[in-house]
Structure 1
Amino acid sequence: MLPREPYKGLTRKLVLAFDVGTTFSGVSYCILDPGEVPVIRGVARYPAQEHVGGDSKIPSIIYYDLQGDVRAVGAEALQEHIIEQAEDEGWVRLEWWKLHLRAKRLASSHIREDDIPPLPHGKSAVQVLADFMRYLFQCAQTYIQESHLSLWRSVENSIEFVLTHPNGWEGAQQQQIRRAVELAGLIPSDQEQSHVHLLTEGEASLHFCVTNVIASDAFSKTPIAVSDYPDEEEDQSDSQGVVVVDAGGGTIDLSAYSMKLSPTSFEEIAPAECCLQGSVFVTRRAHTLLRNKLFGSNYSSPEMIAQMTSIFDKSTKLRFRKPDEPSYIKFGTIRDKDAKYDIRSGQLKLVGRDIADLFEPSIKAIIEAFEQQMRAASTPVNFVFLVGGFAASDWLFAKLQEYFQPLGISFCRPDAHVNKAVADGAVSFYIDHLVSSRVARATYGIECYSPYNSQDPEHSARQHTSFIDASGKPCIPNRFQSILLKGTQVSELREFRKSFYIVLKSLAACTSHSTDIMCYNGALQEPQWLDVERSSFSTLCTIHADLQELAQTLRPQKSFLDRSKYYKIEFDVIILFGHTELKAQISWKDKVRVSLLLIHFLADRERCKGC
C-alpha cells in the first residue's frame, strides 16, 4: 500500500468520489480527521443489492414514470416486481444513457441512434445525470450514517466531491457535470464550486494502480526490460514509463506517465487517449450477430433477441476464452430446439471465431491508441495496467498480452477489485496528488486578425476577405493564434500567455470585451487559419472582461485612413493547464487587474462577468 502521512488539516472533512459509468457506478469515500492517516473505503451496500457488503457497484439503470419522476435506480431496477410494474404503467427504462453526454469529436461512426435508448420526453442527459448522482449521494449518506455512528453531522457541511469523466471529455462535458451537481442538490446553486473537483478516469485509475500495485513490495521486485539504446538505460533507472488502460462499459481510456518511486511522483508524457469502444459495443455487435443468425426462425422476435443479448452480456462475453471452441447462450428450456439455427436443449451455439470478431474493434482501438501515445511519449514504456469492468474479460486480456509481450512490456491487471479502480483512485487523487504535470490534449488559442502583408502568400490568397479596421489598416480575418500547443507538458504552476490588442471606434465600445478560447483537435502541429479544417475547431468558453474603469484612462488615436478617432486596448490571454481542469484569464494593465473565469463555467458560452 502507498504510505500516507497523517492528515494535516485542522477540521474533519469528508471526500466523496462518484464514478458514474456507462454500465455500472459506484462511490468511494474517505474521512479526513486531523492527525489521522487517511483510509479509502467504498460504499458496499445499496438498496436491493443481492451481494450485501460484497459488491461496490450498482447498474447505471434508472426508471422514469410517464410524469418524468424517478421510480427505481440501480439494483432496484432489476427487481422482478419493479420490472412488472414498469411494464404495466409504461415506465421508461434508461441504460447506457451516459453515452448521450459523449464528446462529439470522439470517433463514433460505429454508434447508431438505436444503440442508445432515447431519453424520456422533456428530460436532458444532464437532468438524468443529476437524478442518478442524487441517488448515489443518498446511498452514500445512508451507508456512512450506518457505518460510522454520529459522524455525518460533523461532515455534512464539509464535503469535497471528486467526479470522474472519460479522458476524451473536455470543457463542454465538464460544464454539464457541474450543472448536474447543482441540479442534484449536492451543493447550493449560489455556492462557489470550489468543493467540486473533476478528474479524468485515466488519472483516477493511475492513482488506484499506485496505491494497490505499484507501491507494493512485489512490484518493486518486478524485472524491468532493458532498452536497446544505451543512452536510454540511465534514464530508465531514474524514471519508467507506465500506461494505464481503463477499459469500461462505454469508453476505453489510455493515460501515459513517467514514474519515479523515490519519492513517488508521476508526470504525464503523452496526450490522454479515449476510444468509444467499451464493453457495451461488444454487446451491441453481439445483438447484430444474433439478429442476423436467427432471422427467419421462431426465435427472431425483438424480445427474444434482446433476451439472448442480455444473457450474452452477463455470461457468454465474460467466459469466452478460445476462438477454436464454440460458445453457448442458454436462454430457454430443453424443449427449445432448431438444428437449422444451432439451437438444442434451450441453448444457442455460436462459432468461437464469430465471438472473437466481436471483440476485435475494441482490441484494435486499444492498440492503435497505445501506439499513438508511444509516438508522442518522451519516456519508453515499461508497464501497462489493465483496469475497469471490461478488464474482467479473459479474452481481452489474452489478446492484449499477446501484443505487449513481444515488446518487452510488463502487462498485468490488478486482482483487487478492478471494477472500483476509478472511484478509489479518485479519492486517492484528492489525498495523494501524485501527478505533478500533464500534457495538453489539444491546441488552445483564440481567433484574431492580422495586418495585411502583401509579401505573405497566405495573406495574398485571402486578400478577398480583407477589411479595414478602426485604425485604418487593411487586415486579414480568420487567423488562429495558438497559446498552448497539443502535446506540451505543463506543470501545475506554469502559465501560457500571449499578448493581443483590439481597436475600437468609440469609447463606449471599450467598456467591456469578450474573448473566445478555442480548441483545435486536428492533425496540424500549429494551425494558423480557421478556414483550414474548420470542423476541427470548437469554442470552449467565452471570457468577459468588465473594462469600464480602464476605458476612462484611454486616449484617442488618429486613424491612418481618414484621421478619425479610435481607441486601442492591449491585453494578454493566459491559459493554465497544470490542474485537471483548464483555466483561462484575460489580463490588462489597470492597476494590474485580472479577469478570470474557469472554462467549465462557460462551456455553454454563457456571458459572465469576472474581474
Structure 2
Amino acid sequence: MTYNLRVPYTGSSLQLIVSIDIGTTFTAASYCMLQPGVVPKFEELQRWHMQATSDAKVPSVIYYDRIGKPCAFAAETQDDEMRHRAEIEDWCEASWWKLHLRPDHLPMISNLDLPPLPPRKTVEDVFVDYLGYVKQEIKKFIEDSYGDGHAIWKTLYPHMAVILTTPNGWEGRQQTRMREAAVRAELVDASGKQRIKFVTEAEAAVLYAADSGSINNWLVEGERIILCDCGGGTLDITGYRIEGLNPLRLAESAPSQCYLAGAVFVNRAAEVYMRDVLAGSHWDVPEILTAAVRHFEANAKKKFDDASLSSLVFLGGYKNDESLGISRGRLRIPGAAIASFFEPSIRSIKDGLEEVVFGNGGNQAKRVILVGGLASSPWVHSQLVLWGKQRGIAVSRPDGPTIKAVANGALAWYIDQTVSTRYSRWHYGINIRTPYQPHSLAHRAYVPWYGLNGIKYIGDGWGSIVYKNNRIRAGRAFMQPFSVEMAESRSNWTHSVDIYVYRGAPPPPDLLTDPSRGFDIRPGFDVICTISGNLKKCYLASEVKVSPLTGENYRNVAFDICILLGEPEITARLHWLENGRDVYGPAIVTYD
C-alpha cells in the first residue's frame, strides 16, 4: 500500500509539469501532464540520444571543441566513436561542473580539487548548454511518445512549469543563477521566470521513496525518519516527522545538512593515489590515468566491500612491474588504500547523521533511508549499517530505481505539497541603527550620527528576524520592524534592505561589523539577499514631523520587513499600518 493516493486533477485545462534533476555526475528528467478529472501520472525520460541501452539517467557531461562550441552531451559522451573524436580533435570535457556553483560557505574535502571549467566558459554557460540539451530531449520524447505529440508540445510548452532540484546547501544566489540559465536555455521565456520552482534533492528523494511504497512499513504517524541522499557531489541529509497519512504529511524534524563529499571525491582520491604510484613509470600518461580512473569507478569502486582484500585496476597492455604492484597491465590496490578513498565521505555522512539525529537533544529518529549513487556502494552501506547498530538505528537502502529517483520526487513535491514544516538552517536578520550609548565601549568605537529626529545613532546593529533551528510552517511570515526618516523633498520611494545570515557560533554578535578589522563584516555574517519595495504609500500614511536639527519637514516611515522561509525559496513583502489597517506591499528579492 502506498500513502500518496492522488485524487484527480481539479484544474480546468491541460498543463505540462517538467522536473529536471541535474546531478554532479548524472542527470534525470520526468514529466507529468495534468489533465482535468484524471489522476496525475509521472513519466520518466527513458530514452536519450545515443544511449546504448534505455536508462532514466545520463552523465552530466559535455564535450566542447576548441572554440567553445558544445559537440556532445550526456550519453553521447560515452560513445566510443565520440570519445575517439574528442581525443583526435582535442575537445574539452566538462564534468562535475555543477559544483562550481557551490556556495562559498560549503567547504570541500581538503586536498581535492574540482576539474576546471572549459576555457572561456562560466558555470552559468555550461548550465545553459546542458539545460538546452535536456529541453530538446524532453521535447523529442514527448513528440515521439504520443500520436499527436508535436501538437501537444506546441500547445503546452509556452505555459510549462519547470522544477529544478538543488542540494540542501544551495541558497537563493544559486537558485537565481540556475533560473537565469533556464531562461537563456529557453525552458521558459523571460516573462515566465516564476514558472521555475526549486526543491531540494533530499526532499524529492524522500517523497519518491514514500510514493514508491518501498518504505511503507516505516510510515507511522508520529515517527521520525531520516533521508540521506549520498549523491555524486553532495551529501544531503534531512530528518522528517510523519504528521499524517492518507494523504501523507511530513514536517522537518531538524535543520537539513549538506556536505561537499559525494561519490566524485572517492574517484578523485583514487586518481591522486594512482597518479602518485605511477609517477615516472611507463604508465605515467594522462590518457592511461583517465582510463584507469574510469575502470576503477566502473569496477573496483562498485564491488569493494572488504578492506582486507585488494582490487585490480586495468591500465592497458601486459607489462609487469612488481615494485609498483602491476601484473600484466593491472594495478593491484590494497583494500586499506581503497577504504581510505571512501573514508572522508563516510565520515561526512556520519557527522551529518549525528547532527540530525542528536543535534536537538535526544534521539530524534531510529530509521535512516539511504539513496543516491554512493549509497549503492557495499562498503559505504556496511559502514553505515554498523554505525546504526551501535546507536540502535535501522539503516535501509531501498532496492530498485531509488538511486536516481529525485526527478519523480520533484513532481510529487509540486503536486502533493506534502512537507508542511521546515527548519531554519541559520540566523536571519538585518542591519539596524541603534541609539548611541556613550558609556558603551563597543559603541565608542563607532562614529555616531544624528537622525532627522534629533537622536544620535550608530549603524551596523544586528536585528534578528529568524533564529537558527526555528520551526517554520509553510506560508508563515517573519517580521522585523524597520523605520527610515524621509524628508519631504524625497522623490525616490524605493527602499532596499540587505538580509543577512549568521552561520557562526551562537549567539550572533550585537554588531555586524568589527572596528578592529577596519569595520569589515564580522566572520559568520553574510548578505544572502536584498529586499526592495516602494514605500510611497507607507510614506503618505505617516505623520508629518519637523526635524529639531534642520527645521525641515520629514516623516518617520515605519514598516515591517516580512520574509517567508517555509519553502525552498525565500519570498518577501512589506507591511505597514494605514489608518489602523494592515496593508501589505510587494517586495522584490534580489541576489548579487
TM class, shorter-chain normalised? over 0.9
| Pairing 1:530–2:512 present | yes
Counterparts of residues 42-441 of structure 1 (less than 5 Å): 42-52=44-54, 55-108=55-108, 110=110, 112-113=112-113, 115-121=114-120, 123-151=121-149, 152-153=152-153, 154-189=155-190, 191-213=191-213, 216=216, 219=218, 238-263=221-246, 264-333=248-317, 335-377=318-360, 380-441=364-425
User: Which residue does the alignment assign to 1:460?
Assistant: 441
Q: Which amino acid aligns with 1:577?
A: L
Show the counterpart of 2:574.
Answer: 586
- The corresponding residue for 2:27 is 25
CA positional deviation for 1:505 = 4.9
Instruction: Compute the TM-score of the two structures, normalised by the length of structure 1.
Output: 0.89
Partner of 1:545: 533
Q: Determine the C-alpha separation between the residues in 2 that align with 1:528 and 1:464.
A: 14
> CA 1:377–1:202 in structure 2 vs 1: closer, same or farther (change >3 Å)?
farther
Q: CA RMSD in A?
A: 2.2
The answer to whether the 8 A contact 1:513-1:546 is kept is yes
Q: State how far apart, in whole Å, the 2-side matches of 1:464 and 1:525 are.
A: 21
Whether the 8 Å CA contact 2:358–2:364 is kept in 1: the answer is: no
| Cα shift readout 1:128-157 (whole Å, capped 9, x = no counterpart) | 111111111111111122122214244323
Q: What letter is aligned with 1:465?
A: Y
Residue 478 of structure 1: aligned partner:
460
Contact 1:63-1:73 within 8 A present in 2 as well: yes
Distance 1:505 1:6 in 2: 56
Q: Could you tell me how far apart the structure 2 residues matched to 1:17 and 1:375 are?
A: 33
Residue 518 (structure 2) aligns with:
none
Return the offset for 1:208: 1.1
Q: CA deviation at 1:490?
A: 0.8
Contact 2:481 2:558 in 1 (8 A): yes
User: Which letter does structure 2 place at the counterpart of 1:130?
Assistant: V
Judging changes above 3 Å, is the alpha-carbon distance between structure 1 residues 42 and 598 closer, same or farther for their aligned structure 2 residues?
A: farther
- TM-aligned CA distance change 1:549 to 1:439, over 3 Å: closer
Structure 1 stretches of 5 or more lacking a match? 221-236, 605-611
> Is 1:492 the equivalent of 2:480?
no
- Structure 2 distance, partners of 1:564, 1:304, is 78
Q: Residues 467-511 of structure 1: CA distance to partner in whole angstroms, max 9, x if unpaired?
A: 122222221221111101111111112111121111245631663
| Aligned mates of 1:179, 1:308 — CA distance in 2 | 37
Between the aligned partners of 2:252 and 2:223, the Cα distance in structure 1 is: 12
Residues 535 and 509 (structure 1 numbering): CA distance in 2 closer, same or farther, change over 3 Å?
A: farther
Which piece of structure 1 moves more, 160-169 or 403-412? 403-412
Q: Pick closer, same or farther for the CA change 1:112–1:598 going to 2, 3 Å.
A: farther
* Segment of structure 1 superposing worse, 166-175 or 79-88: 79-88
Partner amino acid for 1:426? A
Output the CA distance in 1 between the equivalents of 2:186 and 2:98.
20
Aligned to 2:232, the other structure's residue is in SS state: coil
Q: Tell me which residue corresponds to 1:609.
A: none
**Count of equivalent residues:** 576
What is the deviation of 1:461? 1.9
- 2:64–2:118 Cα contact (<8 Å) kept: no
Contact 2:21 2:27 in 1 (8 A): yes
Write out per-residue CA displacement over residues 290-315 of structure 1, whole angstroms, 9 at most, x where no aligned residue.
Answer: 11222232222333222212211222
CA distance in 1, matches of 2:81, 2:405: 32
- Gapped regions of structure 2 (runs ≥ 5): 515-520
Shift of the alpha carbon at 1:21? 0.7
Residue 444 of structure 2 aligns with an amino acid whose one-letter code is Q
* Partner deviation per Cα, 1:265-300 (whole Å, 9 max, x = no partner): 110011110000000001111111111222232222
When residues 62 and 550 of structure 1 are mapped into structure 2, their CA distance, relative to the original with a 3 A threshold, is same
**Distance (Å, rounded) in 1 between the aligned partners of 2:556 and 2:402:** 57
Identity %: 32
1:20–1:60 Cα contact (<8 Å) kept: yes
Answer with 9-18 or 537-546: which moved more. Answer: 537-546
**Quick one: distance in 2 between partners of 1:351 and 1:528?**
53
Q: 1:504 to 1:431 in 2, by over 3 A?
A: closer
Q: Write out per-residue CA displacement over residues 440-491 of structure 1, whole angstroms, 9 at most, x where no aligned residue.
A: 1111111111002346xxx432313031222222212211111011111111
* Partner SS for 1:336: coil
Distance 1:253 1:38, change over 3 A: same
Question: Equivalents in 2 of 1:19, 1:573: separation in Å?
Answer: 33
Residue aligned with 1:120, SS: coil
- Asked if 2 retains the 8 angstrom alpha-carbon contact of 1:167 and 1:253, the reply is yes
> In 2, are the aligned partners of 1:510 and 1:547 still within 8 Å (CA)?
no
Partner amino acid for 1:594? Y
Aligned partner of 2:319: which letter? D
Q: 1:479 to 1:57 in 2, by over 3 A?
A: same
TM-score by length of structure 2 reads 0.92
CA contact under 8 A between 1:510 and 1:551: conserved in structure 2? no
Q: Secondary structure at the match of 2:100?
A: helix
8 Å CA contact retained: 1:494, 1:576: yes
Question: How many angstroms does 1:590 deviate by?
Answer: 5.2
The amino acid across from 1:160 in the alignment is A
Distance 2:101 2:528 in 1: 16
| Rounded Cα–Cα distance in structure 2 between residues aligned with 1:148 and 1:414 | 32
Offset, 1:560: 4.7
SS state of the match for residue 164, structure 1?
strand
Instruction: Assess, with a 3 A threshold, how the Cα gap between structure 1 residues 583 and 70 changes in structure 2: closer, same or farther.
Output: same
Q: Which amino acid is 2:289 matched to?
A: I
For 1:329 and 1:553, how far apart are their aligned partners in 2?
75
Q: Residue 490 of structure 2 is aligned with which of 501, 508, 512?
A: 508
Say yes or no: does 1:37 pair with 2:27.
no
Q: Which residue of 575, 596, 600 maps to 2:586?
A: 596
* Preserved contact between residue 543 and residue 597 of structure 1 (Cα < 8 Å): yes
Q: CA deviation at 1:549?
A: 4.8
Q: CA deviation at 1:418?
A: 2.2
Q: Is the 8 A contact 2:251 2:422 kept in 1?
A: yes
Q: Provide the rounded CA distance (Å) in 2 between the counterparts of 1:141 and 1:185.
A: 12
Deviation at 1:361, TM superposition (A): 0.5
* Secondary structure of 1:90's aligned partner: coil
Change (3 A) 1:460 1:563: farther
* Farther-moved stretch of structure 1 (206-215 vs 269-278): 206-215
